[in-house]
Structure 1
């Protein structure tokens, strides 16, 4: 344990008796200067008698000069009530903290912690009560982020519980800081920034194996294996629990392998910009002849539950168009047409699906879909859907009650009378085909419910006049967020090991964030839209995702202006950068904003203002 800025060494003396702890206590002053403080000489003797190290004239911003990196790594570093001395203002103290955190990064163990105690209000976090204005605080979380640290805990600094401790050093004098309401801030290392290199993916397309380059925004999300047998991810746990519950009511067959990632043709009814379009690697695109010969094996994308022949007749998609699957419905439809589904058996398809969408905490460019498909006798479809939903209700209620102790509200709402504004997930599902019901899950603080699934019937999907196909599609990622109290979808995809450590052996628990009060940075961007063109806002959001590595948490239209006379249109957007799981400094956010401006100019043809 390394202690910095000790005034009278009373804090270090209180720690030195802890079993298994080797204390290295330091101060900025020389030994002669330090000994003049009341009680310091006695504490120094006690430290040395107990085997602790006492080091003087240590600059907290140059720790590697005193402790060689790699040879001396500390599990904990304490810095209580840091201060530049005298009447230094907040800017000077921010600079001190910035240099201190950079210095800590060189001597801290990989899993180590940095503890910084500050007077009430100095930190600038919501934990401070009352909270100072941001510009008048030390902005400790943002300052630490610049050195690669995240705030993982904050709790009261209870000086009265530390035996023999006496705070000193206020304005470089032998006077105490005001420790009433003081807070101890615990920082840990963030995972390093993602260095995303291009990734190629192999998949089956009809009878041919092809490869393609994964869109950059999805590079860290492809083939993550969340649903695999050895995964403890909450998404898999929820899928397995739902399957187990459904198997009590229906004969069940899981189909999760051999589902192609790529689909051919343009999705009927789906907006072009909502799909991830893919160019096959050079030399691998099937010829028109090969494609037409393999149509029986290819997966096309007509509307589920609508007349397939009519859709084809109205405009058959180009065979050379490929896109990442935005839904598992096409695979289900292809299997139904081949007669692969047994009547009365509940078939469960699951896997990741990909959709371009706007940036919100609950809008996901990739999520895990669980698709339930059942062939039933005509006239029984409504009762079968009710059985499916009641079973899903029972399982999710039991899961949520076990996690939080509160029973959630789960409702089946008719699509025709659904009054709430549709989420991105629900709106896209509407594009795929007619929806009968929305499945909504309500939890605190939104008891009214969020759409986590939809149900459909396809009366004309089968040639038999006696059978009907019913289906239910569930967004497993949204379910995981609501059941485990995860506020941001990006956390489900974090590479930080601390996420999965909260779900040992797949046990669902309420999630506790390991990155508290992450700093946010707001930038505006204004530009002229190309004349005569409709601005593609989804493409704008997707570029923001790609450039920032999912560090943009919000994009809001601030102003729309049409120039008199010319009719030129100008848009102004406010872009907020914030990470949910790793350190993001103001300089890094500013660099992202500059790259974003360059990218939208290059790819969207706008003229920056």
Structure 2
């Protein structure tokens, strides 16, 4: 524990001060003057501890400040501590006294955390050591039932703290330490398998006042925007300005590998505005469940002309090509079509771009309404001597389209070097039917692109079950756009379009455990992002820095080309360590709330609209939405639905009270906007 000591340190709840003495013995002398050791005992009651007086004298001789009669739940009002700020606060084996009582001990923890955060530095830590099983976390083995524990993570969350680390507490590491205070007596207790829980401050999940549209300024106009989309636009602004973010790193690495695997000239269109046709809206994967009005997010032109009423000016997210937003008196609502690039097609130029995209979806742990999508437009030759032989045209189309799909797979495989993942293609063939239909253009599915765990030993082309196979993630697809004019004009090339979800790709390459961390604003997560290229020389090369890192590690060997370097990285000589980016919250709290209601008989129930309202209220804190039951009442004909909402935050503090307030607001907003009847 002493390794965690930095700056001013406060020890509370000391028994006979033997722990303080033992810890001080391990510290450099100059650190001792920064330590304050306190106890609830008075000068009279401390005498029941045989060695207390000796230990206190020893501490004072080394410059440690010792205070008695100090209540750990009143630090913020105690004259001796209220004006101080501590970087570390240590509370070993707290207990309410007397026989064990979970409610009293939870209250002790809750009140201590509430007081301690008021004298804790912004980046300080609170270390609390508990006996085996008391904490109620999975680190306790065997783990107690939640109701049979002190629920330390939940008690800390009430005061804006998250659990960031757990380390074993070994009493033998402290020479003169003796546990004391069993049932408030000078008796020891069992400290075997005790754990020290480390807590830090984090931003709390906020409960909004409502879910009404937000006014934003774009260019010379003001628009009304959904609250969730508004928050995402602010996050997009932050991500776009942080070029060390995994999204940009993965894109740059893909671009490097792409130039090694094509003879075409590569035209890098780069990062796109979130308001372009490319990025503004995307058709739902199940449009049958949604009306046109509900299918896409829109920015509605506001009649407000006073910019003082506007919360944020997001004009910096617009580029010079977004003239319609700046000048036109229209709502912003356009179809997203990855198969369209501005400018004429060119058989020699491969075009690539990326940017944020809105894709309606349900609510689940690994589903994101907004993601960064990369799109490639890859022109391929189908031969110029096909004549009128339609079968030959089909054969050449299938061959060239599948070649592109496998080239993309090869590029992604290179990016997966030394990770647990491999790339798989499904539906890796094209069947061209009705190629001369009346439609001017036809789009054919070439292949879906999955990333799967190498240990699964799945053969290529395996049908992946997206709902059950958590070790297999779809990250993109390839499509071929065939225009009938290609046959009429006997054009010798067509274009294969490939779309890749950069968020899912980055999570696999960098071992990011939760996709929602890609949108995190927590400084701990952002700090890990900035350190990604420091993992190892080869990993640095494979992910971003190209040839330089490998060559710097092999100065005695010949310089390698960019394409050869990926093969070098596969060799055992250049093995790199895995680097996982995990949630700063070690065991984030999870809360479940159920919601039942009667549908409006006059309005069809729209699942995506229901999800949008939940997101507008709770953001990404609802990670699961499960339909538990539905039935229709025979007499009234009304249909009832019951949903289970699972609340959790990967990087913010979520307490039970906050989850309950969010759930209550969701109920009211759904009732108001969907005209349902709550049960």
TM-score (norm. length: structure 2): 0.75
Q: Match of 2:494?
A: 468
Superimposed CA distance per residue, residues 226-284 of structure 1 (whole angstroms, 9 cap, x where no aligned partner)? 66475211111111100110011232111135656155999598454442133123389
Of residues 81, 101, 104 in structure 1, which corresponds to 2:116? 104
Superimposed CA distance per residue, residues 85-128 of structure 1 (whole angstroms, 9 cap, x where no aligned partner)? 00141011111111111101100000100001111111111111
Query: Given that residues 225 and 231 in structure 1 are in contact (C-alpha distance below 8 angstroms), is that contact kept between their aligned partners in structure 2?
Result: no
| Gap change, CA 1:238 and 1:227, over 3 Å in 2 | farther
**Shift of residue 218, structure 1, vs aligned partner:** 2.1
Q: Distance in 2 between matches of 1:173 and 1:80?
A: 16
Q: Match of 2:107?
A: 95
Q: After alignment, is 528-537 or 209-218 more displaced?
A: 209-218
3-state DSSP class of the match of 1:96? helix
Q: Distance in 1 between matches of 2:81 and 2:415?
A: 47
Q: Distance in 2 between matches of 1:349 and 1:514?
A: 32
Query: Given that residues 245 and 391 in structure 1 are in contact (C-alpha distance below 8 angstroms), is that contact kept between their aligned partners in structure 2?
Result: no
Q: Match of 2:377?
A: 373
Q: Match of 2:519?
A: 493
Q: Match of 1:608?
A: 678
Q: Does 1:217 align with 2:228?
A: yes
Superimposed CA distance per residue, residues 14-52 of structure 1 (whole angstroms, 9 cap, x where no aligned partner)? 222412532110010112322331321221111100000
Q: Does 1:531 align with 2:601?
A: yes
**Shift of residue 165, structure 1, vs aligned partner:** 1.3
Q: Distance in 1 between matches of 2:618 and 2:470?
A: 33
Q: Match of 1:572?
A: 642
3-state DSSP class of the match of 1:519? coil
Q: Match of 2:247?
A: 235
**Shift of residue 152, structure 1, vs aligned partner:** 0.3
3-state DSSP class of the match of 2:340? helix
Give structure 2 stretches of 5+ with no counterpart.
1-8, 306-320, 384-395, 431-441, 457-468, 534-542, 544-578
Q: Match of 1:255?
A: 269
Superimposed CA distance per residue, residues 204-232 of structure 1 (whole angstroms, 9 cap, x where no aligned partner)? xxxxx755233210223215346647521
**Shift of residue 81, structure 1, vs aligned partner:** 0.7
Q: Distance in 2 between matches of 1:98 and 1:567?
A: 49
3-state DSSP class of the match of 1:106? helix
Q: Does 1:169 align with 2:181?
A: yes
Query: Given that residues 227 and 351 in structure 1 are in contact (C-alpha distance below 8 angstroms), is that contact kept between their aligned partners in structure 2?
Result: no
Query: Given that residues 328 and 349 in structure 1 are in contact (C-alpha distance below 8 angstroms), is that contact kept between their aligned partners in structure 2?
Result: no
Q: Distance in 1 between matches of 2:142 and 2:227?
A: 43
Superimposed CA distance per residue, residues 46-89 of structure 1 (whole angstroms, 9 cap, x where no aligned partner)? 11000000000111111012257784111111111100000141
**Shift of residue 513, structure 1, vs aligned partner:** 2.4
Query: Given that residues 328 and 371 in structure 1 are in contact (C-alpha distance below 8 angstroms), is that contact kept between their aligned partners in structure 2?
Result: no
Q: Does 1:559 align with 2:629?
A: yes
Q: Match of 2:351?
A: 347
Give structure 1 stretches of 5+ with no counterpart.
204-208, 285-296, 301-318, 418-431
Of residues 439, 451, 458 in structure 2, which corresponds to 1:441? 451
**Shift of residue 461, structure 1, vs aligned partner:** 7.5
| Gap change, CA 1:187 and 1:563, over 3 Å in 2 | same
Of residues 654, 669, 675 in structure 2, which corresponds to 1:584? 654
Of residues 357, 361, 366 in structure 1, which corresponds to 2:365? 361
Q: Does 1:516 align with 2:612?
A: no
3-state DSSP class of the match of 2:247? helix
Alpha-carbon RMSD: 3.0
**Shift of residue 354, structure 1, vs aligned partner:** 0.9
Query: Given that residues 152 and 186 in structure 1 are in contact (C-alpha distance below 8 angstroms), is that contact kept between their aligned partners in structure 2?
Result: yes
Q: Distance in 1 between matches of 2:512 and 2:372?
A: 16
Of residues 25, 29, 49 in structure 2, which corresponds to 1:37? 49
Q: After alignment, is 86-95 or 261-270 more displaced?
A: 261-270
**Shift of residue 499, structure 1, vs aligned partner:** 0.7
3-state DSSP class of the match of 1:219? helix
3-state DSSP class of the match of 1:104? helix
| Gap change, CA 1:414 and 1:520, over 3 Å in 2 | same
Q: Distance in 2 between matches of 1:255 and 1:201?
A: 26
Q: After alignment, is 167-176 or 179-188 more displaced?
A: 167-176
Q: Match of 1:421?
A: none
Q: Match of 1:414?
A: 427
Q: Distance in 2 between matches of 1:413 and 1:14?
A: 62
3-state DSSP class of the match of 1:357? coil
Q: Does 1:185 align with 2:197?
A: yes
Q: Distance in 2 between matches of 1:8 and 1:268?
A: 66
Query: Given that residues 520 and 576 in structure 1 are in contact (C-alpha distance below 8 angstroms), is that contact kept between their aligned partners in structure 2?
Result: yes
Superimposed CA distance per residue, residues 123-156 of structure 1 (whole angstroms, 9 cap, x where no aligned partner)? 1111111111111111111111010000000121
Q: Distance in 1 between matches of 2:523 and 2:215?
A: 23
Q: Does 1:456 align with 2:467?
A: no
| Gap change, CA 1:266 and 1:163, over 3 Å in 2 | closer
Superimposed CA distance per residue, residues 275-332 of structure 1 (whole angstroms, 9 cap, x where no aligned partner)? 2133123389xxxxxxxxxxxx9999xxxxxxxxxxxxxxxxxx9664366x451xx5
Q: Distance in 1 between matches of 2:66 and 2:284?
A: 73
Query: Given that residues 180 and 188 in structure 2 are in contact (C-alpha distance below 8 angstroms), is that contact kept between their aligned partners in structure 1?
Result: yes
Q: Distance in 2 between matches of 1:268 and 1:484?
A: 29
Q: After alignment, is 191-200 or 213-222 more displaced?
A: 191-200
Of residues 270, 276, 280 in structure 1, which corresponds to 2:301? 280
Q: Distance in 2 between matches of 1:84 and 1:265?
A: 56
Of residues 111, 130, 146 in structure 1, which corresponds to 2:158? 146
| Gap change, CA 1:594 and 1:343, over 3 Å in 2 | same
Q: Distance in 2 between matches of 1:386 and 1:69?
A: 70
Q: Distance in 2 between matches of 1:559 and 1:118?
A: 41
